[in-house]
Amino acid sequence: MQELKDRIKGLGYEEIKDIDDATFIASYKDVYVYVKKVDEEQLRPELVTAITFEAMVTDPISTYAWITNGTSNAYALVEEEMAISEIPSVFEDENKLYIGKRQLTDRDKWSRGKYQELQEKFDGLHEMIYANKDHVNNSNDVIDEFSKLIFLETFRLYHPEYKLTKGNVGGRLFNEIYSYEYVEKYKDKAVQEIREAFKEIKDHADYVAILDNGEKANIFSADEYIKLENPNIYIAVLKALQDLGPIKIDGVERPATLRDLTGDVLGRVFDVLLRRKYENKGGMGIYLTPRQITEAAAEMVLHDLTKDGAAKLIAKDPKTGIPTLRIGDLCCGSAGFLIKILQKMEYYLLNKLTGDKKQYEELFEQLKEHSFIGADNSPGMILKARINMALHGAPKCQIFQTRNSLVNTRLKPGTFDAILTNPPFSKTGISKTIKKGKTTVENPEGAEIIKYYSSDIDENGQNRMNPYGLSLGSKPDSRGRWKEVNSVDPAVLFIDRNLQLLKPGGLLMIVVPDGILSNSGDKYVREYIMGKKNPVTGEFEGGKAILKAVISLPQETFALSGAGAKTSLLYLKKKEHPGEKQGPVFMAVADEVGFTVKQNIEVQLGDDHNDLLKIVEAYKKGMPEDME
């Protein structure tokens, strides 16, 4: 620890106050740095966040947190919960020391202090449910059942006077039966009443999204029910959710509820549970995009949406008064991309814009209901995504299940301002034939998709290049005639589908396997996007989009999912008119993204090992003048 103290003193901080053997606070005037040393295997995002919250409840409140294992570090600007590259020296510009400094309320401090406690409780509850094998077969089943109980608790808090109308619980206040005290008293009877109540509450209008075509999208399917039957599980879960101790607000102490948590603390705890416990291997091939990737993607997209002002964010349909902004993800998983850009948009509206703050708060409430659209073919992921969005304040977010996002008809072409997505990819993922044993047989579903994605090819084999057409189910032969392929990577088709859905000028941020960017066999895909390069002028002619950026990601980015393919972030802008010219392309290589994978465990290295932070800042500053 002495070495750490010497390093912090070398930055000009004077007073050192020991907290314990691994923690101390250093200060300079009224700037305080919370320093904690941890073991290497502990330096993970959830611990870094938890320690940052620890620093928020020190007295005085710490300005910065420095978490280190002696070699790797994570730095945070505490009161704004922002990652920074390093703790600033007091010998530099003194204004840097006070950036973002504000006073947290007692409620803020209490809420931050509950973060670690809830995180530990959620982990423990997951393990308890799993160990009891109460009608759950795997970790994902546990998360689904836990999600249902969290859903009911949030409903109870927001609808304290709701009277049940159906079955044996008809006429009862839900608030009366959904408590750990009630389950302790009535055991199996209480459990059956809660399970019956769930069948009614899951369809409540406050949690039903309305899609573009007017169709209703519930969080839960019509036949969904709570599988758990063990009263002890209900008692433990409800006690964790309902017994948060006392909280003092405006000098009055009273029992706390989840509604008293400030910001998105509960949502962040849920995110940690998903990242830790979600089993991402198996036939579905589903995996969660690391937060470092969603963070960088959302930052770049929001920067471009707002670089000319807030017009796109605040625009409303004059007839309906509904915001026109639409952000999508057709392969949303647990909604990581949507949540990240929702958070950044909220910060932008409520902190960056001048004017009537109440007006922007009301606008943001509308945006949460109408402007974030997601789809996925896994009902389990839809449940997690909808619950996750609800915990982040968006219970009516338009996220729905679809049999296949490539062919669903619920979304209208040309209606999205931006799409951020990480689609599934596989070289022969969509094929006209499949193997059954040693025999190759026809695959009608694959053939139908390939035909659908060849609908913009005319009878002469020419590509019409309609801005809203689909062509990448085919590829040109040596004479330039487009013909249907026998198989294709679904990532290629998702590029086509997402470009179709975008408005002119709309933005697409998509994770793709590097083969699409470099393999000779995928050259036609690149030309479809950018056009062909004129050997005389050097300009690209044709193509549907402007290539804005390519960011190469390291091999281990998706290693935990079992995905061995090298990937990149591909950033496109749909052309606003056919003659729009391709400009300079921002290209960067991220050698590190803040973590590595060892023995199938994600080991966090800290933000100083996350190249994406610097890459995003470089992108936002713009191209060098000699490239303009």
Domain boundaries, the chain: 2-103, 108-277, 431-488
Question: Is pLDDT larger for residue 341 or for residue 265?
Answer: 341
With CA atoms as reference, report the closest residue to 452 among 417, 405, 416, 418.
Answer: 405
- How does the average pLDDT of the chain come out, rounded? 87
| CA distances from residue 398 to 209, 270, 294, 388, 582 in whole angstroms, order as listed | 5, 20, 19, 13, 34
Most confident residue range from 65-74, 406-415, 492-501, 585-594:
492-501
Rounded Cα gap, residues 537 and 332, in angstroms: 41
The pLDDT value recorded for residue 282 is: 43
Residue environment code for 441-470, b if the CB has 16+ CB neighbours within 10 A, otherwise e: eebeebbebbeebbebbeeeeebeeebebb
Instruction: Give the angle subtended at the CA of 438 by the CAs of 435 and 439, to the nearest 5°.
Output: 60
The pLDDT value recorded for residue 377 is: 85
What CATH number belongs to 2-103? Answer: 3.40.1350
Q: What is the pLDDT of residues 397-406, one digit of tens each?
A: 899 888 888 9
Q: What is the pLDDT of residues 268-325, one digit of tens each?
A: 677 667 766 766 554 334 456 887 899 999 999 999 999 999 999 999 999 999 999 9
Q: Are 38 and 63 in contact (CB under 8 A)?
A: no
DSSP string over 11-32: TT--EEEEEETTEEEEEETTEE
With CA atoms as reference, report the closest residue to 62 among 39, 93, 91, 36.
Answer: 36
Rounded Cα gap, residues 20 and 38, in angstroms: 12
Residues comprising the chain, all counted = 628
617 contacts: CB under 8 Å, gap ≥ 6: none
Q: Judge if the upstream peptide bond of residue 60 is cis by omega within 30 degrees of 0.
A: yes
Q: Look up the pTM and report it.
A: 0.76
- Would you say the C-alpha torsion 161, 167, 169, 170 has a positive or negative sign? positive
With CA atoms as reference, report the closest residue to 495 among 406, 408, 582.
Answer: 406
Rounded Cα gap, residues 334 and 287, in angstroms: 9
φ, ψ dihedrals at 19, nearest 5° = -100, -50
Rounded Cα gap, residues 394 and 206, in angstroms: 10
Q: Which helix (H) or strand (E) holds 45?
A: helix 45-56
Structure token pair of residue 381: 């992921």
CB-side exposure of 40: number of CA atoms within 13 Å?
9
The pLDDT value recorded for residue 275 is: 63
Q: Are 575 and 467 in contact (CB under 8 A)?
A: yes
Does 140 score more than 90 pLDDT?
no
φ, ψ dihedrals at 88, nearest 5° = -70, 150
| CA distances from residue 486 to 442, 474, 582, 583 in whole angstroms, order as listed | 11, 9, 32, 34
Q: Are 470 and 500 in contact (CB under 8 A)?
A: yes
The pLDDT value recorded for residue 174 is: 97
Structure token pair of residue 215: 């169709």
Interval 141-152 mean pLDDT: 92
Among 94-98, 191-195, 610-614, the minimum mean pLDDT is found in: 94-98
